[in-house]
Every structure is written in structure tokens, then in C-alpha cells.
Amino acid sequence: VSVTFEVTPPPPTIGLSTTSLSFATAQNTGIPAQKTVDITNTGGQTLTGLSTSVSYQSGSNWLGSPVLNSTTAPATLIVRPTTDGLSPGTYNATITVTASGASNSPQQIAVTYTVAPPPSITLSRSSVSFASVQGGADPADQTVSVTNGGGGTLNGLSVTASGGSWLTASVSPGTAPATVTIQADLGSLGAGTYTGQVQVASTATGVTNSPRTIDVTFVVTP
């Protein structure tokens, strides 16, 4: 009696290195770096016919077409948002991975994209006042705090003083949070009221409100 015993290998199954991806940026400041998902065969036989599709729960077309480097496992899926111009908010999409013959097809990857407001200059106050007596000592320096009222990085900070040589200003460090130091030099000023401005600027990508102005008043009494 002859007996034939045939063992059929199990079907292929889709294995994903992760089932969720998250990206974050500030509006108009740059597209975040790509991320990858490794696709493997966690079953038997050969996992072929891999393909992907994207559906959006919020927003549209911000993910483009993820790049699949092979239709046979092992494969790598490259995912990256295609825009940084979305309105601030949280956007969600689902990447569906399918494969012919896989017993667990389709599989899904949840994608979250958080877009923060662009960087913006926020000042702790918009005016400062000095007072001194003619021929007396210089008044104490005054400071104004600079913070980022949006997202991303508020860098490239600089200040410009105008209104007369009696007014000087500096900012440190060059990235928020920072401090603007304002100085009034009495020198040989006569009695009177002097006005000037300190402009706080930023070269940060996407910054929406540069420059901001600090009004300065210096009262010199006889």
C-alpha cells in the first residue's frame, strides 16, 4: 500500500512593522521627513501582488501616493506628506495594503498629520517708558520678553532702534524664547519728552507678523 502525504504550506500573510504613523509641522514651514513601513511575509509561500491605496478622513490629497519599492515581500513603503500649506489642525488618513493570496489582506496603516500655526512674534509688552533728571544718571535698562505665539521655531531674531542716538536695543538669544534689552542714554539730552521705536524682526520660515514694534518714551525733567 502506498500512501502519498502532501503538505500544503500555509498561505502568505501581510506583516507590517507599524500600523500607525504620525507627522507634524507648522504651516508653511516645510514638509516633514519621510517615514517608512516594512512589509514582510509572516506566513508561508510567497507574498506577491502588493499594492496600496489612500483614503482620507479629513483633508484631501495631502499624502499623495505612498511609494512601494516592490510588489513582492519583503518590501518598503515610503510615506510623506506632500504639502505644508494646510490650515492648522489635525488630519487623518488610512493607507490600505493589499496582496493577492494573503489570508489577512487588506491591512491598514493609520496616518495622522498635525499642522500647527506658523511661527509668530509675541511680545510681553508693546511699550516701555523711561524717566530721568537732566544731567543725572541713565535710567535702568528695561526688558521685553519674546515668545513664539505659533508653531515651529521662531529664530533669526533681530532688533532695530530708531528715534535718536539715545536709544539702543539688543536681543538674546536669537531664537525664542528671548529677551529684548532696551537702553536709554541720557547723555546731554535737555529736558523734554523723547520718543522712539524698537522693531523686533524674525527671519523664521513662515513667520506671519514680522516685524513687531515696541514704542519707547523717555521723559527728561529739568
Of 86, 68, 73, nearest in space to 26 by CA: 86
How far lies 196's CA from each of 20, 97, 185, in Å? 54, 63, 13
From 94, 116, 138, give the residue that closes a domain.
Answer: 116
Among 116, 145, 166, where does a domain finish?
A: 116
Tell me the pLDDT of the chain averaged across its residues: 96
Domain that holds residue 162: 121-221
- 3 confidence band (pLDDT: 50, 70, 90): confident
Q: Which amino acid, one-letter code, is at 97?
A: V
pTM: 0.81
- Per-residue pLDDT band for 1 (boundaries 50, 70, 90) equals confident
pLDDT, tens digit (0-9, with 9 covering 90-100), for 92-105: 999 999 999 999 99
Instruction: Express each pLDDT in 10-29 by its tens digit.
Output: 999 999 999 999 999 999 99
**One domain for residues 107 and 19:** yes
Nearest CA to 30 out of 105, 72, 84 is that of 84
pLDDT digits (tens, 9 = 90+) for 167-192: 999 999 999 999 999 999 999 999 99
Residue that finishes a domain, picked among 52, 87, 116: 116
For the residues 135-159, what does the mean pLDDT come to? Answer: 97
Peptide bond into 88 cis (omega under 30): no
pLDDT classification of 9: cutoffs 50, 70, 90: confident
How many independent structural domains does the chain possess?
2
- 67 is a domain residue: yes
Taking only Cα atoms into account, the Rg of the chain, rounded to an integer number of angstroms, comes to 30
